[in-house]
Amino acid sequence: MATETREKVREILDEPGAPVIIFDHVKLAFDEKVILRDVSFTVIKGHTKIILGASGSGKSTALKIIVGLLRSDDGVVWVNGQRVDQLNERQLMSVRDDLGMIFQEGALFDSLTVRENVGYKLYEESDLPIEEIDRRVSEVLGFIGLGEHIDKMPSELSGGQRRRVAIARAMAFKPRIMLYDEATTGLDPITANTVNDEVIKLRDLEGVSSIIVTHQLRDAFYVATHMAIRDAAGHVQIVPATPEKEREAEFIMLREGLIVFEGDADALRAAKDPYILEFLS
């Protein structure tokens, strides 16, 4: 019966427009401090959800609840048809197999090389042959353009390169959902764009659903208004998004643990709320 249900869920999730993440009336407080008051949103398969908000508004907390690193006080969280708010640490491992998370500052393992970082999950948590893992690591590093740094230590890389290696580590095991926690914070605009381009490429060329947490408006709009295409020669290009593609990126603005805006890039630009206007200015 359980197998039948899982099959059914898988079939539903395979269809276009399926909800891969549902965040339903989630609440969380640490002692007296309320982080999330009542937050609900849905991420559709292949779409992008961009969560904006000032520091301390609960953006990163929402991501940690989705991965199961934090447990909500109330509300329901579905990821790929599984209620993560009810799973224990061991059960969460199967949910995490389909989730890639990029942490603030990258959170690379500083005692491991780039190769070991990128292939970490495959080397440590899978039974794949080493040659196959090495091939996948080289392929992923090639995808993000850091193939020549494979044997370096994280401390030898620049800030932007470290973030891109973190993206490579998260995508190496081919998750269908990526969560970016302030992936471009602290980077200069040019370096930030190299990271943004990887986010766009993963979404448009690999069909990955994404949640992007940021307070960098420039990067948020860049990801929402651009798309990746592969030309006839097989080269990847980042070009302005079509209106349909733009609508697949939805913004959420959090303020003191509540959603104060939800809509696409055009709706955000047209918003009249004083807080949003101040945030956008």
Figure out which of the listed residues 47, 96, 115, 164 binds other proteins, where binding follows CB under 8 A: 96
Query: Is residue 89 part of the contact set for other proteins (CB under 8 A)?
Result: yes
Strands, E assignment, the chain: 19-30, 33-44, 48-53, 74-79, 82-83, 99-102, 177-181, 209-213, 226-230, 236-240, 249-255, 258-263
Segment lying near other proteins (by CB under 8 A), choices 93-101, 143-151, 197-205, 239-247: 93-101
Residue 212: closest CA among 25, 59, 16 = 59
CA 156, CA 113: separation in Å to the nearest integer? 10
Closer by beta carbon to other proteins, 97 or else 246: 97
Q: Which is nearer to other proteins, 66 or 249 (CB)?
A: 66
Report if residue 101 touches other proteins, rule: CB under 8 A: yes
Q: How many residues bind other proteins (CB under 8 A)?
A: 23
From candidates 35, 62, 65, 99, binder to other proteins by CB under 8 A: 99
- Contact between 250 and 264 (Cβ < 8 Å): yes
Query: In the complex, what is the shortest distance from the CB of residue 269 to other proteins, in angstroms, rounded to a whole number?
Result: 33
Quick note: the x/- pattern for other proteins over 251-280, rule CB under 8 A, is ------------------------------
Question: How far is it, in rounded angstroms, from Cα 211 to Cα 100?
Answer: 10
Map residue 199 onto helix, strand or coil: helix
Among residues 175 and 271, whose Cβ is nearest to other proteins? 175
In the region spanning residues 157 to 216, those forming contacts with other proteins, defined by CB under 8 A, are 169
Piece of 36-44, 74-82, 95-103, 236-244 that binds other proteins (CB under 8 A): 95-103
C-alpha–C-alpha distance, residues 70 and 66, integer Å: 8
Residues 58-87 that bind other proteins (CB under 8 A): 64, 67-69
What 3-state class would DSSP assign to 96?
helix
Closest approach, Cβ 91 to other proteins, in A, equals 12
- CA dihedral 108→114→116→119, nearest 10 degrees, is 90
